[in-house]
Chains A and B, each alone.
Chain A
């Protein structure tokens, strides 16, 4: 003990008056810490500024669902399960089924979320996915009709976040699209007011049908960092919390845009948005390749 106390003042003489480790600096000044990395063109996790995190897609992960997929985007993991249920159609659209996406961000996936009714972010992401699916006409709801005015399919699209590390919208939308492509529904029969869906024998191409997807929109999100509005592709949780704003570009395989959203501080110039669109185009191609490799 004596020796250590004796040597401490000597060490201090050689070092600057006040220092702390990188991890302490990160906690005290998260923005300044981040800025130091960005000025060198990298991010603390080793990615380049326009780099996306490693992505994996698995389909058919839930055997009891009609369609399912799991998407991992770095530390963000999202599971999507689709369950088909017979329901009565609305009076003003007797030949259209329902497609109901719902995002669940439970306290299980991050301490940022509280238990109880869905928080604002969960609702906003649900709404964004719902709008992309409807407005971009991903699925013709008439394909979900069993008997006009009597019975239609309802697709409950449940998206559960298992681990949250930012960019939930990209991960959720990718999982929904992978799960929709994976959906298989048994052929129903309608006779005398009764719907029969045969069970029992193994599901095959004869006794079931798949959904016809018109397009596969996939999104790429970017965080705007600092007043210089540096673009950070695929922001993680830490980057999201210090970002000035976000840009999300949703693009389909025919190179048509399905949604563009820019939110937050800082007016972004058109050049910046074009840059995002270009990067989103590349990224959605990569993601499509990952999804089709399944």
Chain B
């Protein structure tokens, strides 16, 4: 039961994750989200003015810009932009801000695997920081199947992904899992409890590549769903703490 990442003892263990909000002065909302050695910074500007060409009469236009760690954006970033935008567009109550634009910039800061998941989590926290009305929050986790042992490793590093037979990114919203979210509220180094009730995981976003069987796919979905509960709980705690702090500052 060993994996290349020596800091973790279990295959179903997430790396320690952490976030900070409101880091950028000039953006309406910003957040950084880290999964161990991976880090993504996200800024949100909006609702603001939008180019006339992109203006929508009944809702806000959502624009996502993904920036790579080094170099200029390639088609990989374009695909990431589309994934994030198509997932968040229905989540944002864009009907409340017609004829405006919301710009989301996702900048990779450190890359040690699972960038898409990290970007999803950073984006949702930045959106909340900007005070954009949302239908629900989401949590994203990546897992992979090891080529040799067929073990499922949660939240793999770049080193681990090099020996992946398949890699799976999942996003779950908190609507389907609001009751079990409180169970895994402790964010730091959460070892996912496998005895939690198996709730039928409703998948909001999924992106899998490699070679895998149908059973492996749904097993991965289930494991990631349980791990996503920890992310949801963490986001909840982070927001609660932030609001508490703001309240104390304004009422001191």
Query: Which residues of A line the B interface, CB within 8 A?
Result: 120, 123-124, 126-128, 130-132, 135-137, 244-245, 252, 255-271, 273-274, 277
Contact A256-B211, Cβ < 8 Å, known A127-B76, A263-B86, A264-B87: yes
Q: In the bound complex, do residue A256 and residue B86 qualify as a contact, i.e. CB atoms below 8 Å apart?
A: no
Asked if residues B206 and A267 are in contact (CB atoms below 8 Å), the reply is no
Q: Which residues of B approach A to under 8 Å, CB–CB? A: 75-76, 78-79, 81-83, 86-87, 89-91, 166-168, 172-173, 175-176, 200-214, 217-218, 221
B172 (CB) vs chain A CBs: closest residue: A267
The reply to whether A135 and B210 contact each other, CB–CB distance below 8 Å, is yes
Residues of B within 8 A of A128 (CB): 79
Q: A127 to B79, Cβ gap below 8 A?
A: yes
A159 and B77 alpha carbons, distance in the complex (Å): 21
Q: Which of A123, A132, A244, A269 touches B79 (beta carbons < 8 Å)?
A: A123
**With a CB–CB cut-off of 8 A, which chain B residues contact A262?**
203-207
Complex contacts, A120 vs chain B, CB 8 Å? 78, 81-82
B209 touches A259 (CB 8 A): yes
Q: Residues of B contacting A126 with CB < 8 Å?
A: 75
Contact flag A273-B82 (CB < 8 Å), given A127-B75, A256-B213:
no
Tell whether, in the assembled complex, residue B176 and residue A136 are in contact, meaning their CB atoms are under 8 Å apart. no
Note all chain A residues with C-beta closer than 8 A to B91. 265
| Chain A residue with the shortest CB-CB distance to B166 | A135
By Cβ-Cβ distance, the 9 closest A-B pairs, closest first, are A265-B90, A267-B202, A135-B209, A262-B206, A123-B78, A260-B208, A127-B79, A123-B75, A127-B75
Question: Of the candidates A259, A263, A268, which one forms a contact with B83 in the assembled complex, judged by CB atoms under 8 Å apart?
Answer: A263
Cα of A129 to Cα of B82 in the assembled complex, Å: 15
Contact B206 A260 (CB under 8 A): yes
List 17 other contacts, CB 8 Å, given A135-B209, A136-B209.
Answer: A123-B78, A124-B79, A124-B82, A252-B211, A255-B213, A257-B214, A257-B217, A258-B211, A260-B207, A260-B217, A262-B204, A262-B207, A264-B86, A265-B91, A268-B203, A273-B203, A273-B218
User: Are A132 and B78 neighbours in the complex by a CB distance under 8 Å?
Assistant: no
Complex Cα distance A137/B214, Å? 18
A269 touches B205 (CB 8 A): no
Can you report 20 A-B residue pairs in the complex whose CB atoms are below 8 A from each other?
A: A120-B78, A124-B79, A127-B76, A127-B78, A131-B209, A135-B166, A135-B167, A135-B211, A136-B210, A245-B86, A257-B214, A257-B217, A259-B209, A262-B206, A262-B207, A265-B89, A267-B175, A269-B202, A270-B221, A273-B203
Q: Are B173 and A267 in contact (CB under 8 A)?
A: yes
* Set of chain B residues within 8 Å of A256, measured between Cβ atoms: 211-213
Q: Are A124 and B214 in contact (CB under 8 A)?
A: no
